Structure 1
């Protein structure tokens, strides 16, 4: 596994945990494409919609003094310049975990000058934590 990628992934997860929209914006490709599945409905979106979504999520976390709980499920090299990371994401509100999570299947690509960027996501939203209890996290 690319050591540079591991450092990038740590930066990415720290930007998420700290609700830093400016850092997150720098880590996502302008060509980003995503699909979210929520309650059986499919929503496709790109970079701008993604940034708006991150802003809303980060604002909610800050206003509610929530803490992000992020767990790496798997890291899968796809090609020499692409790696998929599966991340389980939920929040803790007032010291209690909410009862659902999202699974993010996120693909990162090494761009020019060796910089990694998030290029694609598939998001399964609103999964019961009971359904994720048997997952082996890395």
Structure 2
């Protein structure tokens, strides 16, 4: 894996775990596009809606003294300047792990300034953790 991307991804995940919105917003492209699936509901959104969603999530973590649990499932090179990452995210709230996770398919692209940015995201909300524990990649 590209060393600059590995460093970026580690930084991105650390920022996510620590919940500073200002830092995270700098890692998301202004041209960001996303789709979130919750049961039968499908929502498409862009940068501004994403920042609002992150803010709500980060506030929830802080207000409930919760902790993010992030699991890197796979990193897939798409092109020399583009990588796709599959992640699961759940939380520990009041000492108890949630029974579900959100499954993220995130695409990062290197911009003209040689910086990696999150450009696309597809999220499956409420996946049972037991189902995620069965995932095996070669």
Give TM class, smaller chain: over 0.9
2:40 match = 40
2:23 match = 23
SS in 2 for 1:76: strand
2:8 match = 8
* Contact 1:71–1:137 (CA under 8 A) maintained in structure 2: no
SS in 1 for 2:113: helix
Give the TM-score, by structure 1 length: 0.97
1:85 match = 85
* Contact 1:72–1:137 (CA under 8 A) maintained in structure 2: no
Distance change >3 Å, CA 39–CA 108, structure 1 → 2 = same
Deviation track 1:84-120 (CA, whole Å, cap 9, x = no partner) reads 0000000001221111100000000000121000000
Could you tell me how far apart the structure 2 residues matched to 1:136 and 1:70 are?
A: 17
- Give the alignment's Cα RMSD to 1 decimal: 1.3
Matched residue pairs, number?
138
Could you tell me how far apart the structure 1 residues matched to 2:95 and 2:89 are?
A: 16
Specify every segment of 5 or more residues in structure 1 that has no aligned partner in the other structure, as ranges.
none
Specify every segment of 5 or more residues in structure 2 that has no aligned partner in the other structure, as ranges.
none
Shift of residue 135, structure 1, vs aligned partner: 2.1
